[in-house]
Amino acid sequence: MAGKTIEIIKTKRKVPEALRQRHKEYLGLRKKIREALADGEATIPQISQKTGIPADQVVFLVMTLRKYDEIVAGDMDDMDEYYYYKLSEK
Amino acid sequence: MEQNMKNSSVKVADTLILGGGIAGLEAALNLANTGHQVVIVEKDLSIGGRMIHLSKVFPTLDCSACITTPKVSEASRHPGIHIQVNTGAKKLAFDAKGHWHVHVQTEPRFVNESLCTGCQDCERACPVVVKDEYQYNLVGRKVAYIPFSIASPRIAAIDIENCILCGACEKACVPGAIDFSQEPVQTEWIVKSVIIASGFTLFDPDQIERYGGGKFKNVVTAMQMERQLVPTRPFNTVLRPGDGKIPDKVAYVLCAGSRDGTVGNPICSQICCMYSIKQAQLILGALPMADVTVYYLHIRSFGKGFDEFYQQAKKMDVSFIKGKIGKISELENGDLMLRYEDIASGKIKEAKHDMVVLSVGILANRDIEKISGLENLELDPFHYLKQRQEMSNPFKTNLPGIFMAGTASGPMDIPDSILSAGAVSAMVTKYNKGFVESIINSLTISSWNE
């Protein structure tokens, strides 16, 4: 079965359009965040300002990308309020 | 001989336990260690229940996972225990011989359990991200995923409802474990006794609009804070989910959804005071410069060492204000204004905090009511299993051979859950006596481990 079973389930299930759209939206947000960090590290509010993505969504996305090693956390800012985040060198 | 049909089979054991949390595991181990054959049916992808997700336990501040995982591990490899995860009970029927026939259905995880090595290659290859329910939605997870790092079994699963069927996981899986052809599997268990250890659910604070739960980004539930305090924490530190700021002034609001008839839960959840005091201490460990304030109606520190634990929190400069929260408002910068009645002075006051934790109460797990054949199972007014003889026989239900353990019978803390599991396993040991041997001699089916 290995390597072929995806074709079996495709005959039984259809991917809802809403799910496709949600995935596309995620990919777009991920791209924006990666672009925002391409020039160097930034805090969550700075990423939010650069990308126009609400700060709570930036937290969710940055932490998810950090979980999957796309982003790493750096030092705290001068006020000890926010961490800097940067793209992983991987 | 086992009767096997396509995707279904009939098996026999002494006891079936509904729920693989700490109470179910404790009961299973006690029974299996006395020679009983036990099957654990767990609806989640992993056993371990809620306890495996906690940081520390009160009042000892012992590592919660360090207590849970040895039991998880022992149960997983015990020759007398069979575990079915991702499985729900659909129907129970009592026959004339005094046996329970429990029909369970294992949902497909689309991963061959015997081939998966837990390497997470599928997870890395999967492009789709959804909210991670095991991190209480603070962070995302992939659709092909290992539920959490210490999950047992540590086997991947495909969240088919959110899968875009791209096949990336299947291509990435070297052992060829991904199997989208899986279907639900039915099993009928014939058992002498059933222990319901189905645990509890958490109160949804969105029901209390004045607290802003679900609306204000920096109002979190105690379980979300708990996840921020565990070693596998989603943010790797304690942060505000609204903007990633390190919180400086944290408020706890106790009795959020407990002792409140207006939200349908007039009883005390028994654990919120102490877990809040525990978290307050842990926050001060993680963020030594933070101020933590606990708004409470009464501190119920009734257990062994609980009051000393409360006093210890006070000595660590956790502030305790006896006050009823009227309303929480969100300020422009994400800070939160708490308007409350200061019971000591009788005055209405306001206080600003940059993060609020709602110490949400617990509710009965009402999934048990959905199981066919349990319509006559007696519940108490709060939908917990009714203890008909609370003093003399507290773990027996009104149905023959059906027992209860842990929070299935009402709110209780971890030691009491374990204690109840110990007591119920003693009762069940007596009740089961010689069951599997007798049924195997009389029927043409086999024990599951033959």
Select the residue from A1, A4, A6, A33 to test the B interface by mutation, using most B Cβ atoms within 10 A.
Answer: A6
Q: How confident is the model at residue A1 (pLDDT cuts 50, 70, 90)?
A: very low
Residue A76 lies in a domain: yes
Residue A59 lies in a domain: yes
CATH of the domain at B37: 3.50.50.60
Residue B10 lies in a domain: yes
- Closest residue in chain B to residue A68, using alpha carbons only: B124
Number of domains in chain B: 2
Number of domains in chain A: 1
Tell me which chain A residues have a C-beta less than 8 angstroms from the C-beta of B181: 1, 5, 8-9
Find residues 60-119 of chain B whose CB sits inside 8 Å of chain A.
Answer: 110
Give the separation between CA B436 and CA B260, rounded to whole angstroms: 47
How far away is chain A from the Cα of B248, in angstroms, using its nearest Cα? 9
CATH of the domain at A82: 1.10.10.10
Q: Is residue B84 located within the same domain as residue B46? A: yes
Q: Is residue B240 located within the same domain as residue B297? A: yes
Domain boundary among B362, B384, B407: B362
- Confirm if B355 and B247 have CB atoms less than 8 A apart: yes
Q: Is residue B52 located within the same domain as residue B31? A: yes
CA B239 to chain centroid, in Å, comes to 24
Q: What single letter denotes the amino acid at residue B285?
A: G
Average pLDDT over residues B193-222: 94
Please tell me whether the interface predicted TM-score (ipTM) of this complex is above 0.90: yes
What ranges in A1-90 are assigned the alpha helix state H? 5-10, 17-38, 44-51, 55-67
Per DSSP, what are the bridge partners of residue B323? Answer: B342
Question: Taking 90 as the threshold, does the pLDDT of residue B104 lie above it?
Answer: yes
- Closest residue in chain A to residue B181, using alpha carbons only: A5
Contact A83 B176 (CB under 8 A): no
Burial class (CB in 10 A: 0-12, 13-18, 19+), B115: middle
Q: Is residue B320 located within the same domain as residue B370? A: no
Provide the 3-class DSSP secondary structure of residue B92. Answer: strand
Question: Taking 70 as the threshold, does the pLDDT of residue B119 lie above it?
Answer: yes
Question: Taking 80 as the threshold, does the pLDDT of residue B133 lie above it?
Answer: yes
Query: Tokens 């059933």 map to which residue?
Result: B194
Residue A73 lies in a domain: yes
Residue B135 lies in a domain: no
Percentage of chain B lying above the pLDDT 90 cut: 90
Residue B438 lies in a domain: yes
Q: Which residue in B190, B418, B218 sits closest to B333, CA to CA?
A: B218
- Confirm if B19 and B49 have CB atoms less than 8 A apart: yes
Query: Tokens 């509010």 map to which residue?
Result: A45
Domain boundary among B327, B362, B397: B362
Boundaries of domain holding B264: 203-362
Select the residue from B115, B131, B146, B181 to test the A interface by mutation, using most A Cβ atoms within 10 A.
Answer: B181
B29-73 pLDDT, tens per residue? 999 999 999 999 999 999 999 999 999 999 999 999 999 999 999
Q: Is residue B384 located within the same domain as residue B239? A: no
Report helix angle A55-67 to A17-38, nearest 10. Answer: 90
B308-350 pLDDT, tens per residue? 999 999 999 999 999 989 999 999 999 999 999 999 999 999 9
- List the Cα angle B23/B383/B38 in 5-degree steps: 30
Average model confidence (pLDDT) for chain B? 94
Q: Is residue B270 located within the same domain as residue B290? A: yes
Per DSSP, what are the bridge partners of residue B63? Answer: B56
Q: How confident is the model at residue B448 (pLDDT cuts 50, 70, 90)?
A: low
Residue A17 lies in a domain: no
Contact A68 B142 (CB under 8 A): yes
Residue B157 lies in a domain: no
Q: How confident is the model at residue B391 (pLDDT cuts 50, 70, 90)?
A: confident
Q: Is residue B225 located within the same domain as residue B333? A: yes
Question: Taking 50 as the threshold, does the pLDDT of residue B5 lie above it?
Answer: no
Domain boundary among B362, B393, B419: B362
Residue A21 lies in a domain: no
Residue A75 lies in a domain: yes
Residue B176 lies in a domain: no
Q: Is residue B423 located within the same domain as residue B349? A: no
- Confirm if B433 and B192 have CB atoms less than 8 A apart: no
Residue B117 lies in a domain: no
Average pLDDT over residues A85-89: 94
Q: Is residue B307 located within the same domain as residue B384? A: no
Give the separation between CA B166 and CA B236, rounded to whole angstroms: 31
Q: Which residue in A58, A53, A25 sits closest to B164, CA to CA?
A: A25
Q: Is residue B427 located within the same domain as residue B326? A: no
B356-373 pLDDT, tens per residue? 999 999 999 999 999 999
Average pLDDT over residues B394-402: 95
Q: How confident is the model at residue B2 (pLDDT cuts 50, 70, 90)?
A: very low
- Find the range with the poorest average confidence among A70-74, B85-89, B385-389: B385-389
Q: How many CB pairs under 8 A join A and B?
A: 103
Burial class (CB in 10 A: 0-12, 13-18, 19+), A73: middle
Boundaries of domain holding A77: 40-90
